Structure 1
Amino acid sequence: MKKILSFAVIITLMLSLLSACSSEEDTSASASDKTLVVGAKNFTEQFVLSKILAIYLKENGFEVEEKNNMASQVVRQALENKQVDLYWEYTGTSLVNYNKLDPLSDSLEAYEKVKEVDKDNGLVWLDQSQLNNTYTLMMREEKAKELGIETISDLAAYLNDGNKLSLGADAEFATRPDGIKGVEKEYGFKFGSSNIKKMDVGLFYQALRDGQVDVATGFSTDSRIKAFNLINLEDDKSFFPAYNAGITVHEKSLEKYPELEELLKPLAEKINTETMTELNYQVDIEEKSETEVARKWLTDNGLIEE
């Protein structure tokens, strides 16, 4: 009888140990299961943003696979097909390019609209940032200060006083209703066709730096703005469409990891247009790696430990 009891005790202990091991394996598998695929488009700003996101997620217990250097339509399709779980997108890009809607200049209105329409696509917009990579009118900082021009309204007033300034713009943007023609109409001024110098996209920055033109069109977070001592004129009537960056997540990924919504809030809260221009500058002009720039930004903002 004692032998039978001893055998029963041994069997019970063995089963308990097996159960404990199984539980530990399940827990371990669950932890290693926290995997996300982060996507990115094919330009510097996206490389930096995706690296910020990837490093931050890794520091918060996720395994991260990075899929970078994709065309805009490709990464969007990858998100819809859940080949990537999340990436940084721009409100205006989603409204106009993907959903074929009219652009909106009010950042909050654009964000609310894109949240609504992309919900039907199975995508969730987390908080939008104050990073607005939209069109801009630029001047050399020294010239703008000399003329007392800080806003597009200041520019309009200067030209309406009978002064002349030359503008560098690509041929399409110079004639589009949401380009220079629209700006002139909204702010009530004209450069005059003889003062508009049409040139290839990307040449405006150097032409402005070298004094070939007085004003130029551009994109608000371009690293050359800082490198060439240029300034963005404030669009004080909010004419240009909103292109605020925000993290888009596939709905099934968010269902699996609902903590992402709160976890990623600080990224949107701390990134803005000025900051992004500086980060782009560090990569494009100072030739630092995206990883180095992203990690330093995260540590400087207290989001991860050094």
Structure 2
Amino acid sequence: MKKLFTTSVLGASLLALSACGESEAGELTVGGKNFTEQFVLSEITAIYLEENDYDVERSANMGSEVVREALENGQVDLYWEYTGTALVNYLDQEPLAEGEEAYEIVKEMDKEEFGIQWLDMAELNNAYTLMMRSEDAEEKGIESISDLADYVNENPEDITFATNAEFAEREDGLPGVEDEYGFEFADVSQMDSGLTYQALNDGQVEVAMGFETDPRIVDFDLVTLEDDLTFLPAYNGAVTVHEDALETNPDLEELLAPLAELLTSEEASQLNYEVDVAERSETEVAREWLEENGLLD
């Protein structure tokens, strides 16, 4: 029943999009997934395109598979995707930690197999990360996972680590991190993903796994530790465009390049904070960001 329901929703969503049809020059449908970061990225892109004389239709709030299929079918013209998602979910490849390498592979494969063009890759990386409270990390002199490994090896009983079940078991998660960096947590506490941030903020643990662009990093004054050996899989964001839309609107790549240049993980985390924590609208936050970065007149 669950599979039937999912398929029905997917079909209904794509049917609703079918009226969009193929874009003409100067007309674009901007898609997006159904979580805060995607709402903001989609709105930034839509507003920026409108300010550059494009007629934009918005089709955000879709599941990952739905918006991807819509792009493949030309029912949306572009949306922000993540290298790790495309690499594993759509192209059946193994995850990669090196962001540029992952980007080049998805860029080449998507163009050849699906007619999808990847524009410039942003530094924005919605990947797994290890976090600490800012004051605790500063007090212990920990800025990177290598620093953490040294500290744990010297003080094995001082650190409790919070993680969700998936990261605890993935070979490119906790087991791989410990193996790559040469240490092992003596005390690991498993919990739901959303609880790791609160446990860290409340002082129940000293280190926790999270995601680099989560707004609670800003809200709780946490720091992310540098993955200095480049082990954790990359999930860099980039605008993906159907080849027909790019052919019809050849200026898109150059026009959208400043967005990729400016969107970092820190910026994304702050944008997500403004929506989720400060409870501002995606449109207000997106327009303010564009204005602050000199992209709107």
TM-score between the two structures when normalised by the length of structure 1: 0.87
Q: Which deviates more from structure 2 when the two are superposed, residues 254-263 or residues 168-177? A: 168-177
Which residue of 131, 145, 148 maps to 1:152? 145
Per the alignment, in what secondary structure is the counterpart of residue 264 of structure 1? helix
Give, in angstroms, the shift of residue 170 of structure 1: 1.1
Contact 2:156 2:185 in 1 (8 A): no
Q: Does 1:41 align with 2:57?
A: no
The equivalent of 1:19 in structure 2 is none
The equivalent of 1:6 in structure 2 is none
Q: Does 1:280 align with 2:268?
A: no
CA distance in 2, matches of 1:46, 1:58: 18
Q: Does 1:94 align with 2:86?
A: yes
CA distance in 2, matches of 1:130, 1:105: 14
Q: Does 1:125 align with 2:118?
A: yes
Give, in angstroms, the shift of residue 68 of structure 1: 1.0
Give, in angstroms, the shift of residue 109 of structure 1: 0.7
Per the alignment, in what secondary structure is the counterpart of residue 194 of structure 2? coil
The equivalent of 2:185 in structure 1 is 191
The equivalent of 2:166 in structure 1 is 172
CA distance in 2, matches of 1:110, 1:178: 15
One-letter amino acid of the counterpart of residue 170, structure 1:
N
1:115-138 CA-partner distances (Å, limit 9, x unpaired): 011012110000011111110000
| Runs of at least 5 residues in structure 2 that lack an aligned partner in the other structure | 1-23
CA distance in 1, matches of 2:30, 2:290: 17
Per the alignment, in what secondary structure is the counterpart of residue 186 of structure 1? helix
CA distance in 1, matches of 2:274, 2:94: 34
Give, in angstroms, the shift of residue 33 of structure 1: 5.5
Q: Does 1:221 align with 2:221?
A: no
Q: Does 1:163 align with 2:156?
A: yes
One-letter amino acid of the counterpart of residue 206, structure 2:
D
Query: Runs of 4+ in structure 1 displaced over 6 angstroms?
Result: none
Give, in angstroms, the shift of residue 162 of structure 1: 3.3
Contact 2:31 2:58 in 1 (8 A): yes
Q: Does 1:80 align with 2:72?
A: yes
Per the alignment, in what secondary structure is the counterpart of residue 202 of structure 1? helix
One-letter amino acid of the counterpart of residue 172, structure 2:
D
Which residue of 196, 208, 212 maps to 2:204? 212
Give, in angstroms, the shift of residue 260 of structure 1: 0.6
The equivalent of 1:17 in structure 2 is none
Size of the aligned set, in residue pairs, is 272
- RMSD, aligned α-carbons: 1.0
One-letter amino acid of the counterpart of residue 166, structure 1:
T
CA distance in 1, matches of 2:212, 2:251: 32
CA distance in 2, matches of 1:175, 1:256: 46
Q: Does 1:253 align with 2:245?
A: yes
CA distance in 2, matches of 1:100, 1:296: 38
Give, in angstroms, the shift of residue 54 of structure 1: 0.1
Which residue of 268, 293, 298 maps to 2:285? 293
The equivalent of 2:226 in structure 1 is 234
Contact 2:78 2:241 in 1 (8 A): yes
CA distance in 1, matches of 2:31, 2:91: 20
Q: Does 1:62 align with 2:54?
A: yes
Per the alignment, in what secondary structure is the counterpart of residue 100 of structure 1? coil
Per the alignment, in what secondary structure is the counterpart of residue 180 of structure 2? helix
Structure with larger Rg: 1
Per the alignment, in what secondary structure is the counterpart of residue 196 of structure 1? strand
One-letter amino acid of the counterpart of residue 182, structure 1:
G
Identical-residue share of aligned pairs (%): 61
Per the alignment, in what secondary structure is the counterpart of residue 288 of structure 1? coil
One-letter amino acid of the counterpart of residue 130, structure 2:
L
Q: Does 1:143 align with 2:116?
A: no
CA distance in 1, matches of 2:170, 2:76: 35
CA distance in 2, matches of 1:197, 1:163: 15
One-letter amino acid of the counterpart of residue 300, structure 1:
E
